[in-house]
Amino acid sequence: MNRLEPLPEHARRALAVHGIWPADIRVVAMADLSLDGEFAEAWAVLTGDSVAVVEGQAGRAGGREGFGGRRESAAWSETGFRAYKLEEIERLNAESVPLGGMLSAHISGADVVLCRYTNSAARKFGIFAKLFSKIKDGQELTDEDFADDRAPKYCPKCGLLYPDQGRAVCPRCLDKRSLFTRVLSFAPRYRVQIGLILACMVASSALRLLAPFLSGRILFDEVLVGKGRFGGRVAEAVLLIAGTQLLALLISIAQGRINSSVSAEIIYDLKSEVFNAMQRLSLSFFSNKQTGNLMTRINNDAHHLQYFFHDGLPYFVVNLVTIAGIAAAMIALDWRLALLVLLPAPAIVYVLQRVFPRLWSLFSRRFRRRSAMNSLLNDVLTGRRVVKAFGKEESEIARFSTTNDGVFRVNVDAGRFVGTVFPLVHFVMGIGGLMVWGYGGLQVAKGIMTFGTLITFTGYIGMIYGPLEFMTQIVDWWSSCMNSAQRIFEVLDAVPDVAESPNPVRMERIRGAIELKGVTFSYEPNKPVLQDINLTIEAGEMVGLVGHSGAGKSTLTNIITRLYDVEEGSVLIDGVNVRDIAIRDLRSQIGMVLQDVFLFTGTIAENIAYAKPGATMTEIIRAAKAANAHDFIVKLPDGYDTVIGKHGHDLSGGEKQRLSIARAILHDPRILILDEATSSVDVETERLIQEALERLVSGRTTLAIAHRLSTLRNADRLVVLEKGKIVEVGTHSELVKLKGVYYNMLNKQREALRIRGVADS
């Protein structure tokens, strides 16, 4: 049984020629390159006792079918076959190489390449290699073995790669009606306010429907004509008309006041819901998204959906009722004139049906361009120092100009399209009015129709054009709102990679013992950052993590804090798997002091108390003193009340670092992570920071990463990482005696410092 992907008929026939039958096949994966690196089709299969690869070429390509872009063909011919018994192979490796990857078998001390593939197939061949190990060890394969939550996902209908891999949403196949239904599910939250708004709108519409009848039929035919039922009672008629207008005004004022309240409430709720959903998501969700894009979803998209509830939906219902009421009134007055007014309606409906898809595409493109501009602005304004330091102002101006040009062009396209289509629709609607004046005027001249009836009718025509114009713009409104709804639901529906256990273990006070068992982790397929890590750290022990850049030091701390979940193996704290510990309990007892300190806009006291909001001023000052930060804080203009952050007082790197240490001291974590906490500071500042760190690490489990190895001499143990693997473990003196990787790194660093010292002198 093949489990990774289906095996096409031509590949089945080719394998059968070599004695490999479909019933024997347990795993299948398609590679898309030949061993020479040319595009080809190679099918790798695992049976209970062998690994085989059949390679071929298609003479005539068919349509795209399934994952990886494989194509059926009536003229597929075999160009190669390779097979090995399981007992011959020590292991299978799915490795990354330039321009893709390759699957190799380690046989008799040498690696034999079985097939090559592009990066699109890298994930499945990583799974293929793992499944080989299970089959070779005699283990049964389960559904979980074939799962790859990080694999690229495609739309099953059209084969399009999902734009947001966190949610299976295909813009091409999205059912807008179901999306609209889901948007409506928000309405019950505001049913009272929406009900009041609708009531006001209906009452206002009813009064407006009455106005043409009063100022036309009644005034001209019954009041101004002496023989009418109300002949000569002009003052009363005028007062009645004025009274209806005044009542309509009061209702409009009430509606406006309700609107302002519900509008603010809807925006508040939508922004809160999207922001809260983002806070629940894992770091991986944010790693492949631009800040400007996410800010647009919180701000602009929430406003568009607010328009849906505040203006769009109520006005749609009321205008629909108004059109029906006016149509009924016009038919009652003269069905022939009513027919002339409604004659252009089919043409308008046809145009709107053709316009809708084009507008949807234009608004989607406009959102993407605007998000790109927001992201660019965020990058340039945040990194303005780097821009200035490298003299890249002109380059950034050119980059902004290109992005701005893209926004300009899509705005022009959308504006031209809307500005061309809707005036044409209005013109078609106006033709009906001209025909009414022509035909109705002729009827009045012949004495068949009264002048008051014609005036009433033309009044209704003027009234119906407003709602009809709204209906012509509903495509614009619908496209904008549904685009925004789709993007908001993508955030609300996204599932965090690091999820809370259904029955989490509460650990309100952990000791701090850490154990890693066979941990393997990668950010990208088949590019492990950590490989088979086994490490035990006792509670209260200080361990230094040493290694070159990219060795996996920071990644190791990330999986201990469960910012990411491991692919293989397990991470235990006090003997409990971190996947089972309540996330709040875990994170609340881990503190971090990082190289890049982030301070929020606010006072110094608020930043120190970030992890403990209820801290007293005495506790904050005590933590600042322990971090050697108190002396410089009291010299600031407002002391602990000095505002820092984006628009506040500017602090040096060393001052920021000491505030970060004070924050960690006040947090009082059981596990502490120091990631390059003393980098990029002068000698005196480093001494102050080191003193503060010595107080901080006392009595708690500490993992320290430092660029200067001499700062880790006091660590209980040093763990040396190289290419994601632990290569050495021991104290400073033990590793120096070993004269291995750590010893070489130490000597190189001493030599670099010596040269720098000579240069400085």
723 φ/ψ sector (left φ>0, alpha ψ -120 to 50, else beta): left
Which three-class secondary structure string do you get for 353-412? HHHHHHHHHHHHHHHHHHHHHHHHHHHHHHCHHHHHHCCCHHHHHHHHHHHHHHHHHHHH
The whole-angstrom separation of Cα 617 and Cα 186 is 43
Lowest-confidence pick of 328-332, 440-444, 474-478:
474-478
Q: What mean pLDDT comes out for the span 289-306?
A: 67
89 φ/ψ sector (left φ>0, alpha ψ -120 to 50, else beta): beta
Indicate the pLDDT class of residue 649, thresholds 50, 70 and 90: low
The whole-angstrom separation of Cα 466 and Cα 472 is 10
| pLDDT at position 269 over 50 | yes
Neighbouring residues of 189: CB distance < 8 A, sequence distance ≥ 6:
269
728/268: higher pLDDT: 728
Question: Where does 525-670 show beta strands of DSSP type E?
Answer: 527-537, 542-546, 568-573, 576-577, 590-594, 602-603, 643-644
Cβ contact 558:282 at 8 Å: no
| pLDDT at position 572 over 90 | yes
pLDDT value for 73: 44
**DSSP element (H, E) containing 25:** strand 25-33
CA 15, 17, 23, 27: dihedral to nearest 10 degrees?
-10
Tokens 């088949």 — which residue? 526
| pLDDT at position 286 over 50 | yes
| pLDDT at position 557 over 80 | yes
The whole-angstrom separation of Cα 54 and Cα 14 is 7
741, amino acid identity: V
The whole-angstrom separation of Cα 7 and Cα 495 is 31
pLDDT value for 31: 93
Where does residue 44 rank: exposed (0-12), middle (13-18), buried (19+ CB within 10 A)? buried
Q: What mean pLDDT comes out for the span 579-602?
A: 86
Neighbouring residues of 708: CB distance < 8 A, sequence distance ≥ 6:
678, 679, 749
Nearest to 366 by CA among 475, 472, 480: 480
Burial 126-152 (b: 16+ CB within 10 A, else e): bbbbbbbeebbeeeeeeeebbeeeeee
What the block records as the tokens of 6 is 């289906």
Residues 612-636 have pLDDT tens digits of: 888 899 999 998 988 888 999 999 8
Cβ contact 727:686 at 8 Å: no
**Count of other CB atoms within 10 angstroms of residue 361:** 14
Q: What single DSSP character describes residue 467?
A: H
pLDDT value for 545: 92
What the block records as the tokens of 387 is 């821009």
Where does residue 521 rank: exposed (0-12), middle (13-18), buried (19+ CB within 10 A)? buried
Nearest to 528 by CA among 572, 498, 568, 563: 568
Residues 318-376 have pLDDT tens digits of: 788 888 888 888 888 788 887 877 777 677 767 766 777 777 778 778 877 887 888 78
The whole-angstrom separation of Cα 736 and Cα 744 is 9
Lowest-confidence pick of 55-69, 88-102, 289-303:
55-69
The whole-angstrom separation of Cα 479 and Cα 365 is 12
What is the SS3 assignment for 234?
A: helix
Alpha carbon of residue 712 to chain centroid: 39
What the block records as the tokens of 438 is 């022509």
- Report, in angstroms and rounded to the nearest whole number, the Rg of the chain calculated over CA atoms: 36
Where does residue 98 rank: exposed (0-12), middle (13-18), buried (19+ CB within 10 A)? exposed
The share of the chain scoring above pLDDT 70, in percent, equals 82
Q: What mean pLDDT comes out for the span 497-526?
A: 86
Q: What is the mean pLDDT of the chain?
A: 80
pLDDT value for 57: 84
pLDDT value for 67: 36
Alpha carbon of residue 333 to chain centroid: 56
pTM, entire model = 0.58
Residues 532-547 have pLDDT tens digits of: 999 999 999 999 999 8
| pLDDT at position 222 over 70 | no
Indicate the pLDDT class of residue 62, thresholds 50, 70 and 90: very low
Largest pairwise CA distance in the chain: 123
Q: What mean pLDDT comes out for the span 670-676?
A: 87
| pLDDT at position 291 over 60 | no
Q: How many CA atoms lie within 13 A of 171 on its CB side?
A: 17
pLDDT value for 140: 83
Q: How many CA atoms lie within 13 A of 382 on its CB side?
A: 9
Tokens 């990219």 — which residue? 550
